[in-house]
Chain A
Amino acid sequence: MTDSAIIAIAAAFAIAVSTIGPALGQGKTAAAAMEGIARQPEAAKDIRSTLIISMALMEALTIYGLLIAFMLVAKV
């Protein structure tokens, strides 16, 4: 395998692996929020804003993976 082939595979792995963790986390968060809203519809507004913030913080992890993937792709 050439160097650039290895780098290309590494870039693909960087984004693929960094997607899995946050995806699982976001799924759990959304499920819990749904449950909370279903039990207490009047608290929906507060739950929604907290949900968006926590989702955004988790998403940052994926974006870091994306950044690393870009940096690797630039080296191919």
Chain B
Amino acid sequence: MSEPSEVILPIFGVLDVTGEVVVMWIILAVVAVISLLVTRNLKERPGKFQNIIETGVEYLDNFFTGIIGRKKARKYFYFLGSLFIFIIFANYSGLFPGVGMTKYAKAPTSSLSVTAGLGIVTFFFLLIASIRAKGVKGFLKRFWSPVIILPPLLILDEFIKPASLALRLFGNIFGEETVTEQLYEILPIGAPLIMMILSLLFCAIQAIVFTMLTTIYLDEAVETEDEE
């Protein structure tokens, strides 16, 4: 397993502030400020800034609509959209100069704790969304519906899904950061650039993969029989 992050500001020994936490705070601040600035005076005919953000949100909306349909996409957009925005910001934060080199700033998704947190949130979201959409009976029915011997496997599956989501994101981003660091050791000027250009692509793909798989699991979790 990866090395535990160095603590830079201990709070009661449990809520330790690490480099990942600092970067997450910055991400939160940036996203909050952008959202506030954009929604402060919304116009029917958008200005330049509003137009850019609207294009992004529209792209996300179309992306989810393409997978699970308009109704569900609108209903669960608050979770899926936030997940995507957070992950893509967290992934790209590793590309900023200085992030990852000191203990004061690290890409959040290069730590297993952060991605495991995202996985746990996804697990509970899927659980609650499924129970809400189908009721407790409908939710339990999925475990023994096709064949009676399936429950152990299907219950295990519920836990493996978020775990593999978390591990995938962590493995990719951590691996990428490590390769960049190693290249920096070999040749500080120029060599990391090769990996960083590839990272531009990988970061976006990993964010898309995480959200896309969550969306597909969600579709499975909330589908009701009378719908089709």
Q: Do most interface residues of chain B lie in helix, strand or loop, or is the interface mixed?
A: helix
Report if A53-B216 is in contact (Cβ < 8 Å); known contacts: A60-B167, A63-B167, A74-B1: yes
Q: How many residues of A contact B (CB 8 A)?
A: 15
Q: Mark A37-76, 1 if CB is under 8 A from B, else 0.
A: 0000000010001001100100110111011001100100
Partner of A53, one of B164, B167, B175, B212: B212
* Shortest beta-carbon distance from A63 to chain B in Å: 4
B209 and A53: CB pair below 8 A? yes
For window 174-192 of B, CB contacts with A under 8 Å fall at: 175
Closest to B164 in A: A60
- A49 / chain B contacts, CB cutoff of 8 Å: 66-67, 212
Q: Is the CB of A56 within 8 A of B209?
A: yes
Q: Is B102 an interface residue (CB 8 A)?
A: no
Interface string of B164-177 (1 = CB under 8 A from A): 10011011100100
Residues in A with CB closer than 8 Å to B150 are none
Q: Check if A53 sits within 8 Å of B1, measured CB to CB.
A: no
- The A contact surface, by secondary structure, is helix
A66–B205 CA distance with the chains assembled, in angstroms:
19
Chain B min CB distance to A46 (Å) = 9
Q: Can you pick out 20 interface pairs between chain A and chain B where the beta carbons lie within 8 Å of each other?
A: A49-B66, A49-B212, A52-B209, A52-B212, A53-B212, A53-B213, A53-B216, A59-B168, A59-B172, A60-B164, A63-B164, A63-B168, A63-B171, A63-B172, A66-B171, A66-B175, A67-B1, A67-B167, A67-B171, A70-B2
Q: Is the CB of B168 within 8 A of A60?
A: yes
Closest to B175 in A: A66
A13–B152 Cα distance when bound, in Å, is 32
In the complex, what residues of B have CB within 8 A of residue A63's CB?
Answer: 164, 167-168, 170-172
Cα–Cα, bound, A70→B2 (Å): 7
